[in-house]
Amino acid sequence: MSIVIQVVWLALIATIEIVATQWDRLVRGHARKVRNLAFTVINHLVIPVATVTVTHLCQPRIGTHWIAGLPALPGIVLTVVALDFAGYWFHRFSHRNLFLWRFHQIHHLDEDFDATTGARVHTAEEVMHQVVLVVIAVMLGVPSSYFTVFATLSFIMAIFHHCNVAIAWKVERVLRTIVFTPALHVPHHNDDIVNTDSNFGFIFPWWDRMFGTYNTAQRTPQWRIGLDYSHDLSLHRLIVQPFVPKQLKESAIAPVPYATYETAGQAAARPEGKAA
C-alpha cells in the first residue's frame, strides 16, 4: 500500500508541475527524468529487502518496546520527529564526509529541479540511510507499521519539496514554518557552496533553525542548479561513479561560470538572431 501511495503521489505532483510551473525548465527532453526515475525503481526493489534484513538482525539483540508501548498517535508523532532528526544529521554529515559525499553528490549533480530530483538518490546511499534509521527505530522500539508511516511521509515530503510548483506566498509563509517547501529547499541545490551547505532537513525545517543551517535565500534567474565542478552524468556513470577511486571533483570538467547561464524564459525573450 505504501508503494502505491508513493507512486500516485509522484504522478500527481508531476501532473501539477505541468500546469503550475514556478521556475523555467533548465534541461529539455526526457532523458534526465528517465535517469532520475530509474533510481526510484531500483530503490523500491532494493530498500524493502534491506529494511527487513536489518530489522531481523537487530530485533533479537535489542528488544525494546518503548515507543510501541505508547498510544498510537503520540507513538507515530514521536517516531516521525525522532527519525527526521536522525535524517537531518545523516544528510548534513553526507556533505562533510568524503566517502558519503561520493554517493550523495549523485543527487546534487541533477542540473534541474523538479519532483524527479527528489526521487534521485543513489541506491547505496539509500541503503546506508535506511540502515541508520532502522537501527535507531529498533533501539527506540518503533513498530514496523510506524516506520512504514515515516518512510511513506518522508518520500511524500521529498517529492514535494523538490517539486517545481508555484505556491502562493500566503500559503508558503505558513507551510515553511512546519515543513520544507520547494522555495525553501531549492537553495540547497544551487551550485554556490554557501547555499548547498544549508537546509539539510527532510520533513521539518526546525533542525536547520536550531543548528544554524537555515537559509531563506530566494532563487534568481542567475542561479545554476547542480554542482560547480561537474555537469550531470549518464545513468551508467551515475551508478558507478561513487566506486571510482578518484573523486569526481578531481577528474570532472567544471561547467562554465553560472553567470553565463540563462533560463529558458530569458532565451525566449532575447531578440531573434542575437547571441547570448
Does residue 97 lie within any of the structural domains?
Answer: yes
pLDDT at site 64: 65
Does residue 95 lie within any of the structural domains?
Answer: yes
Q: Which three cell numbers stand for residue 134?
A: 532502522
CA distance 146 to 193: 36
CA distance 21 to 262: 17
Angle at 15 between CA 203 and CA 235, to 5 degrees: 75
CA distance 6 to 151: 10
b/e code 171-189 from CB counts within 10 Å (16+ = b): eeeebbeebbbbbbbbbbb
Judged by DSSP in three states, 227 sits in: strand
Please give the model's pTM, rounded to 2 decimal places: 0.87
Does residue 75 lie within any of the structural domains?
Answer: yes
Per-position pLDDT tens, the chain of length 276: 778 888 899 999 999 999 999 999 899 888 999 999 999 999 988 887 777 777 766 665 555 678 989 999 999 999 999 999 999 999 999 999 999 999 999 999 999 999 999 999 999 999 999 999 999 998 899 988 999 999 999 999 999 999 999 999 999 999 999 999 999 999 999 999 999 999 999 999 999 999 999 999 999 999 999 999 999 999 999 999 999 999 999 988 888 764 444 444 444 433 333 333
Q: Which three cell numbers stand for residue 69?
A: 508501548
pLDDT at site 29: 86
pLDDT at site 261: 44
CA distance 226 to 238: 14
* Other Cβ atoms within 10 Å of 1 Cβ, number: 7
Does residue 273 lie within any of the structural domains?
Answer: no
264: phi then psi, degrees, rounded to nearest 5: -60, -35
203, 84 contact by CB (below 8 A): yes
Integer Rg of the chain from CA: 19
Does residue 129 lie within any of the structural domains?
Answer: yes
Does residue 271 lie within any of the structural domains?
Answer: no
H helices of 119-177, in order, are 123-140, 144-162, 169-175
According to DSSP, residue 258 is labeled G
The residue segments making up the domain with residue 221 are 2-265
Does residue 41 lie within any of the structural domains?
Answer: yes
Residue 71 half-sphere exposure toward CB, CA atoms < 13 A: 2
Angle at 53 between CA 49 and CA 58, to 5 degrees: 150
Does residue 274 lie within any of the structural domains?
Answer: no
- In total, how many domains does the chain have? 1
Judged by DSSP in three states, 65 sits in: coil
